[in-house]
């Protein structure tokens, strides 16, 4: 829940975006490398906001710089920045149609890019463009912070396809990923890119005695073969934090 703003405060969209994510100042400082003093100045309107100020915060908070700059006046933002902020630099922007900014996106495994997924319903990840569902997920800030130990803007929901990870994860089961975790350590479940650029869930085990480093790509279903690949050939989308299973 966002804290109440005291009289005379002139909070900007940086403050409201951080509050909407349930993130502390210390955590935002850690994620962005901006000093706590500078963050305080930006949040309290002591520095005139520009789009180039907001790029580090956009990455950490999963809002666009435009949303933060025009907080309360831009689609996808909730609450109002203080009217006393006065005019801020930046052009007028059209609404973005992705899931609302407080939602965690889910990849749409059924939508093929050849079938013409609208540009507004995709996310970019390195050299890949992934279709996402128009509705995302909302998780309590306390659950994200205390149970997942991750930053909400870095989360992604992915549905499993096929039976390669059965019985651990069945076809249609969903998992929550931490997309900030892209190294195969510690051993565990990860989402990786397959040979055709799709996203699949596998168990990764680092072969620590090998030089250069190699990783075992393991399917929990014994009817699927285990592979061993160089770490450099592996593209990790994120680490699996927990599952969302229907019974």
Element at 244 (helix H, strand E): strand 236-244
For the whole prediction, is pTM greater than 0.75? no
Q: Write the CB contacts of 159 (distance below 8 Å, at least 6 apart in sequence).
A: 106, 107, 109, 172, 173, 174
- Looking at residue 45, its pLDDT comes to 84
Using alpha carbons only, give the angle 16, 21, 243 rounded to the nearest 5 degrees: 165
Identify the bridge partners of residue 129 per DSSP, sorted by sequence position: 124
Q: Give the separation between CA 74 and CA 81, rounded to whole angstroms.
A: 11
* CB 199, CB 237: distance < 8 Å: yes
Q: Give the separation between CA 210 and CA 202, rounded to whole angstroms.
A: 20
- Looking at residue 94, its pLDDT comes to 35
Taking alpha carbons only, the member of 200, 210, 247 closest to residue 232 is: 210
- HSE (side-chain half, CA atoms, 13 Å) at 246: 6
CA distances in angstroms from 200 to 32, 60, 229, listed in the order given = 30, 25, 16
At 9, give phi and psi (nearest 5°): -75, 145
**In 3-state terms, what secondary structure has residue 60?**
helix
Q: Give the separation between CA 118 and CA 74, rounded to whole angstroms.
A: 21
Q: Which two tokens stand for residue 171?
A: 């076809």
Q: Delineate the domains of the chain, giving CATH numbers in brackets.
A: 13-85 (1.10.260.40), 113-244 (2.10.109.10)
User: If 0-12 CB within 10 Å is exposed, 13-18 middle and 19+ buried, where does residue 123 land?
Assistant: middle
DSSP 147: I
- Looking at residue 69, its pLDDT comes to 83
- Looking at residue 84, its pLDDT comes to 37
Q: Which residues of the chain have pLDDT under 70?
A: 1-9, 74-102, 110-120
- Looking at residue 142, its pLDDT comes to 87
């Amino acid at each position: 829940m966002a804290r109440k703003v005291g009289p005379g405060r002139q909070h900007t969209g940086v403050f409201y975006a951080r509050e909407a994510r349930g993130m502390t100042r210390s955590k935002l400082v850690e994620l962005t490398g901006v000093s706590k003093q500078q963050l305080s100045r930006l949040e309290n309107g002591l520095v005139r906001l520009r789009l180039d100020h907001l790029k580090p915060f956009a990455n950490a908070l999963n809002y666009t710089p435009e949303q933060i700059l025009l907080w309360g006046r831009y689609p996808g933002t909730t609450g109002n920045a203080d009217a006393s902020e006065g005019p801020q630099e930046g052009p007028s922007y059209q609404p973005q149609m992705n899931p609302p900014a407080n939602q965690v996106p889910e990849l749409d495994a059924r939508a093929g890019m050849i079938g013409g997924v609208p540009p507004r319903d995709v996310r970019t990840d390195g050299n890949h463009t992934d279709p996402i569902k128009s509705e995302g997920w909302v998780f309590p800030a306390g659950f994200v912070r205390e149970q997942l130990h991750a930053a909400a803007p870095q989360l992604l929901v992915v549905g499993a396809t096929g039976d390669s990870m059965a019985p651990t994860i069945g076809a249609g089961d969903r998992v929550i990923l931490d997309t900030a975790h892209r190294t195969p350590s510690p051993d565990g479940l990860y989402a990786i890119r397959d040979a055709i650029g799709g996203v699949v869930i596998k168990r990764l085990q680092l072969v620590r005695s090998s030089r250069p480093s190699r990783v075992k790509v393991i399917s929990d279903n014994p009817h699927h073969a285990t592979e061993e690949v160089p770490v450099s050939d592996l593209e990790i989308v994120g680490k699996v934090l927990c599952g969302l299973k229907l019974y």
